[in-house]
């Protein structure tokens, strides 16, 4: 299988160009292309160029509306709401960002909720964006139902991740926690199904509720939550914030992110920002430094997000290796 080396600028330009050709507005395409650049930069290939053919297909079939114009409202001093208008979440997040962060700084804590939305890419990047502004970011998103409750076999919630990022006092993030409710990302099972490869036995259940190593059977069944009941609880928490509180479709009501059936999924996101100065002042940074050192001072231990930082150092100078088959799929799409 051949590979090519692309710079991050080339990846962003390729993504933006293909999205524009598929019907995305400049605003929508620019926001999504930047997200794909960041994913490839950090080595998160499941949310990088691999997703581009899906996005272009969804633009063409109307699952996501390329000319959507987000609408921002502020119902209370610390409550920002964005109607993504069935466009990409990325553009809707950008639309509400300045008002959201302004509310955080004025109130000490504020939230931004999105509805009529779509996939938002790597959730941790949005939390990290808050950390880069000197704020603590706590973010939730949800997805079409793919995880059944423990003891059941009918999916109720999506892979539903949450992300938390903490500032380091130097316009960057000290750490980034970004984890989903499932044992493995659904994109990994989709990739295995496409390649005809088996999955691990603890990743998913078939439609009969029994463990399976068949990727296609897993897609027809349900993902397993990480940590059993505890993982389902984490996913349920994300569902409450990103779907119910945001006013979006529940995961059981959202159309799939894969395929062309069902129209726009109408999912949501929920972001909370905290200004440390409103609570513990400079003491927060000092406490986080001590906490981080208690981890990094141990041989072999690292802070959450450290692997992404290492990938950045490599890709920003050496570029990204992209499979030729993927590039061919992107060109064909």
* Residues 11/49, Cβ–Cβ less than 8 Å: yes
Select from 145, 147, 139 the least CA-distant residue to 120.
139
d(CA 86, CA 83): 8
Classify 256 as helix, strand or coil: coil
Report how far Cα 319 is from the mean position of its chain's Cα atoms.
Answer: 22
DSSP 95: H
Which residues are the active-site residues?
46-47, 188
Residue 164's DSSP bridge partners are 138, 177
In the chain, beta strands by DSSP E: 3-6, 71-76, 79-83, 109-117, 136-141, 162-167, 173-179, 204-205, 222-223, 267-274, 320-323
Contacts of 197 (CB under 8 A, 6+ apart): 215
């Amino acid at each position: 299988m051949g590979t090519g080396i692309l710079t991050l600028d080339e990846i962003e330009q390729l993504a933006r160009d293909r999205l524009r050709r598929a019907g995305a507005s400049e605003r929508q395409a620019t926001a999504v292309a930047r997200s794909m650049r960041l994913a490839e930069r950090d080595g998160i290939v499941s949310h990088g160029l691999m997703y581009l053919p899906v996005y272009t297909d969804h633009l063409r079939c109307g699952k996501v509306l390329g000319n959507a114009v987000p609408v921002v409202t502020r119902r209370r001093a610390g409550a920002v709401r964005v109607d993504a208008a069935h466009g990409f979440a990325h553009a809707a997040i950008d639309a509400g960002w300045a008002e959201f962060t302004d509310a955080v700084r004025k109130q000490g804590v504020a939230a931004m909720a999105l509805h009529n939305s779509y996939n938002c890419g790597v959730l941790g990047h949005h939390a990290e964006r808050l950390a880069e502004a000197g704020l603590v970011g706590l973010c939730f998103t949800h997805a079409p139902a793919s995880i059944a409750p423990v003891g059941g076999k009918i999916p109720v919630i999506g892979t539903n991740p949450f992300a938390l990022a903490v500032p380091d006092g130097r316009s960057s993030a000290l750490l980034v926690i970004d984890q989903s409710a499932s044992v493995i990302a659904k994109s990994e099972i989709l990739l295995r199904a496409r390649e005809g490869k088996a999955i691990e036995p603890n990743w998913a259940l078939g439609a009969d509720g029994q463990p399976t190593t068949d990727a296609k059977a897993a897609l027809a069944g349900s993902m397993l939550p990480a940590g059993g009941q505890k993982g389902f609880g984490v996913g349920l928490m994300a569902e409450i914030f990103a779907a119910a509180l945001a006013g979006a479709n529940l995961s059981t009501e959202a159309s799939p992110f894969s395929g062309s059936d069902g129209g726009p999924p109408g999912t949501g996101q929920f972001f909370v920002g905290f200004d440390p100065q409103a609570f513990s002042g400079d003491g927060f940074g000092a406490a986080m430094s001590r906490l981080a050192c208690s981890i990094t001072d141990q041989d072999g231990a690292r802070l959450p997000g450290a692997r992404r930082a290492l990938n950045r150092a490599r890709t920003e100078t050496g570029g990204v290796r992209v499979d030729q088959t993927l590039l061919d799929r992107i060109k064909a799409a």
